Structure 1
Amino acid sequence: MARADINAIGAHVPVAGGLATGGLRYAAEIGAEAVQVFVSNPRGWAQAAGKPAEDRRLREHAEEHDLPVFVHAPYLINLGSPSPETIAHSVASIRHALQRGAVIGARGVVVHTGSAVSQPREDAMRQIREHLLPLLDEIPGEGPDLLLEPMAGQGRMLCATVTDLGPYLDAVDRHPRAGVCLDTCHAFSAGHDLTAPGGVAAMLEALAGTVGADRLRLIHANDSKDPCGSCRDRHENIGAGQIGAAPFAEFFRHPVSRGVPLVIETPGRSAEPHRADIETLKRLRDG
């Protein structure tokens, strides 16, 4: 996957046994060309310390094999929350994920864009500026970048459609270390009809027009259990949901997404469904 115009296809991998020992074994088993990992409990605030030997092995393997590595920050993070405690935990958690990402050589750290919950959207956006801008300024020259992931539109989410990213990035002065992670299930559920003729291209062109094509750094390739505009975040295996397999082929052809890694976050408690999803995406890419 050394060529910049080829989309690496991979998965979020389990890391039981260690980031390298467990994560790379699973990646090899399913044929992943890129990996995304958690570096702490995704549903808690505890900040796990890394194991130096595992960190070093993962970084060296990624460098040797040109393997794109990404970190997904915990799900509880919400800088738009009215709760001071949640804000404090969120700041600490993002900082920890960025620091751990730097150690393992990750290209980006994915973070959900958050919700206003019970307060006015304007207040939530002021908080985004106050707390996210300093974190972006702290990122060292070698990265990783912070990748903002819009949600499916449920509740009072601050970003759902790709055009929602415009005001969000404006709040942090369009910081150069702020990139975008686009989740296909989220986008579909938020109202981007990826199944319509030209639907994928329309979404990608809207993204480029809103934030610039160069900000798209990662795609979460997930089918959707629910229809377009449902505002429900329920992933399905590639080709088994409401999006279907065919629209994913466009991500390999469109200039905005060409060369951007895709990782699946699809259902399955064993390697087999994930291997099948990756094989489907590779057929669409290489066919």
Structure 2
Amino acid sequence: MTPTNLIGGHVFVTGGLATGGLKYAAEIGAEMVQVFVTNPRGWALSEGNPAEDAKLRESGVSSFVHATYLVNFGSPTPATLENSVAVIRHTLRRAAQVGAAGVVMHTGSPVGQPREAAMRQVREHLLPLLDEIDDDGPELLLETMASKAQMLCATVQDLGPYLEALDGHPKVGVCLDTCHVFSAGHDLAAPDGVRLTLDALHEAAPGRLRLIHANDSKDACGSNRDRHENIGAGHIGAQAFADLMRHPVAAGIPICIETPGKGDKHREDIELLKKLRSA
């Protein structure tokens, strides 16, 4: 029997990480959640509330943590590298405290320096952090980014060299964002687009897919623009998400929306994905 994809979303938290987060998850019909444990647009390292951590950990709800957007192990700026190390170390620790399965990390860009130099930095600074993770701790999930010309990982094929730089570490997984790969040139809207993309992902990073960010796209395939749209309302279209859930590489992989709006809009996106799952 094919494993079921849990369908949920990034939850808006008010009134405590678990109290508010699980309340919002219930309101939108989420079967899994993704949360921030620090400011997503800053370097501050926020400590958690042990009671709230325990509630989320003991809730039985599958959870993931998204790291700060500023993280970039390919940056030539020493302060960015130093902060990236501190944030990922902290976020992995916080993820373990809340019982999250993984930490999603943007794979970064060279910011003008040679790509080879940026990848050496990825190895030097990120590999030691992976070795610090306990055997039962969360995985670090590499998320491909939208702008092909500027990112270390944009196409799914780029994941191969990134994983090689990390020696194929067992605590590394992959987060596939549908809007990002569409923007980078993987035409998920084409009749065979999802199959070709997931086949290529399996070739580049076999057995590594751990999470899918389900986002439609406001812009056309290959636009290099990261503008999410609600499910079925963008250039990717609803059929691609149905095809995705039927591909063996995506079997049983949690699916998390990061679509515009909140409340009713998120509930509608999740309901549509559930219908596509059961069709």
TM-score (norm 2): 0.98
Shift of 1:280: 0.3
Is 1:13 the counterpart of 2:11? The answer is: yes
Shift of 1:4: 7.3
Indicate the residue corresponding to 1:73 in structure 2.
67
Cα deviation, 1:231-263, whole Å, max 9, x if unaligned, reads: 000000001111111110012111100100000
Shift of 1:118: 1.4
Is 1:22 the counterpart of 2:20? The answer is: yes
Task: Report matched runs for 1:114-263 at 5 Å.
Answer: 114-153=108-147, 155-212=149-206, 214-263=207-256
Cα deviation, 1:57-85, whole Å, max 9, x if unaligned, reads: 111002xxxx2100000000000000000
What CA distance in whole angstroms lies between the structure 2 residues aligned with 1:24 and 1:107? 16
Shift of 1:154: 5.1
Cα deviation, 1:194-232, whole Å, max 9, x if unaligned, reads: 0111110110010101110x2000000000000000000
Shift of 1:155: 4.9
Ranges in structure 2 where 5+ consecutive residues have no aligned partner:
none
What CA distance in whole angstroms lies between the structure 2 residues aligned with 1:4 and 1:90? 38
Equivalent residue pairs, number: 279
What CA distance in whole angstroms lies between the structure 1 residues aligned with 2:149 and 2:183? 13
Shift of 1:48: 0.4
Contact 1:117 1:155 in 2 (8 A): no
What CA distance in whole angstroms lies between the structure 2 residues aligned with 1:46 and 1:16? 19
What CA distance in whole angstroms lies between the structure 2 residues aligned with 1:101 and 1:141? 14
Query: Percent identity, aligned pairs only?
Result: 67
Tell me the amino acid that sits aligned with residue 157 of structure 1. M
Contact 1:154 1:232 in 2 (8 A): no
Indicate the residue corresponding to 2:269 in structure 1.
277
TM-score (norm 1): 0.96
Cα deviation, 1:140-188, whole Å, max 9, x if unaligned, reads: 1112000000001255210000000011000010111110000000010
Report the RMSD for the aligned CA atoms in angstroms. 1.0
What CA distance in whole angstroms lies between the structure 1 residues aligned with 2:14 and 2:180? 27
Contact 1:195 1:243 in 2 (8 A): yes
